[in-house]
Amino acid sequence: MERDPYRELRIGFTAAVSHELRTPLARLLALIESASLPGGDAAAALEQARGEVELMDELIDDILFLSELETGRQVVSLGSTEVAPLIREVVSELSESAERAGVTVRVDIEDEALELPIRARILRVVLENLLLNAIRYAGDGATAVVSLRREDGSHVLSVRDDGAGVEADDLPRVFERFYRADRARASSGSGLGLAIVKHVVEAAGGRVEAHGAPSEGLEIRSVFP
């Protein structure tokens, strides 16, 4: 029987989403309760509550995007996109986030005219998730490089960093929905970013790879034929 990645995505998805939403909801309730206590710092609680709401909003957006992918390959592969300008746009848009995280972002483009068989809007989502993954988890002082090149007859879009890296046991699981390595469990993000990347790239006929080691950084590669 042919493997159906979208069916696999749906299995257990409702339970997983409920679990992930309960965490920020519980923190939000605790913040509201603490702010209502005598001597509570309402301003600080409000600021933290805003962050929890933003996290829930991101999670819901990612869930809706994954649901859209379930409509089929044509959603991803309708047309093609010149990648270099889009890389620079995304890097510019996320520059403040990178600065706050202490991560330096560089761009390494081998072929300015290279195109990938993905709609522009969906390719933007891939780029944002790849770069945000590095910004959130590489660590203060790290450098992340967004790379686009030809390699052995394929087109490779990757983001690699020289930061905290990933344990060997975590590498095979980084593309699982809601999976976070121990060091990242308290970090922001929906936990769906790399799962989205995987499903988009595979729907476009490519594959994803994760390479890295503790204290040696992480590279996420999207390889297209």
Which CATH number goes with the domain that contains 123? 3.30.565.10
Closest CA to 58 of 190, 159, 155, 161: 190
Which CATH number goes with the domain that contains 22? 1.10.287
Q: In whole angstroms, what is the distance from residue 115 CA to residue 111 CA?
A: 9
Do 85 and 51 reside in the same domain of the chain? Answer: no
Closest CA to 48 of 63, 62, 34: 34
CA 28 to chain centroid, in Å, comes to: 23
Full pLDDT tens readout for the chain, 225 residues? 455 555 555 554 555 555 566 667 777 777 777 777 777 777 887 787 877 777 677 667 666 666 666 555 555 665 788 999 999 999 998 999 899 999 999 999 998 999 998 878 788 888 988 999 999 889 999 999 999 999 988 999 999 999 988 888 888 888 886 665 544 444 455 567 788 888 888 888 899 999 999 989 999 999 998
Domain boundary among 69, 94, 115: 69
Do 122 and 186 reside in the same domain of the chain? Answer: yes
Which DSSP string do the residues of 42-70 spell out, in sequence order? HHHHHHHHHHHHHHHHHHHHHHHHHHHHT
Neighbours of 174 (CB within 10 A): 23
CA 151 to chain centroid, in Å, comes to: 24
> Does residue 218 sit in helix, strand or coil?
strand
Do 122 and 193 reside in the same domain of the chain? Answer: yes
Q: How far apart are the first and last CA of the chain?
A: 24
Q: In whole angstroms, what is the distance from residue 88 CA to residue 202 CA?
A: 24
Structure tokens at 86: 């889009």
Neighbours of 165 (CB within 10 A): 24
Cβ(201)–Cβ(224) below 8 Å: yes
Do 97 and 142 reside in the same domain of the chain? Answer: yes
Do 22 and 54 reside in the same domain of the chain? Answer: yes
Do 85 and 64 reside in the same domain of the chain? Answer: no
Which DSSP string do the residues of 173-196 spell out, in sequence order? GTTSTT---GGGTTSSS-S-HHHH
Structure tokens at 46: 């409000």
pLDDT on residue 144:
97
Domain boundary among 52, 69, 86: 69
Number of domains observed in the structure of the chain? 2
Do 99 and 52 reside in the same domain of the chain? Answer: no
> Does residue 142 sit in helix, strand or coil?
coil
- Write out the residue range of the structural domain in which residue 176 sits: 78-224
Do 126 and 34 reside in the same domain of the chain? Answer: no
Q: In whole angstroms, what is the distance from residue 72 CA to residue 122 CA?
A: 13
Cβ(215)–Cβ(166) below 8 Å: no
The burial class, CB within 10 Å (0-12 / 13-18 / 19+), for 115 is middle
Do 41 and 128 reside in the same domain of the chain? Answer: no
Do 35 and 119 reside in the same domain of the chain? Answer: no
Do 44 and 148 reside in the same domain of the chain? Answer: no
Domain boundary among 26, 45, 69: 69
Q: In whole angstroms, what is the distance from residue 36 CA to residue 23 CA?
A: 20
pLDDT on residue 49:
80
pLDDT on residue 107:
97
Do 193 and 94 reside in the same domain of the chain? Answer: yes
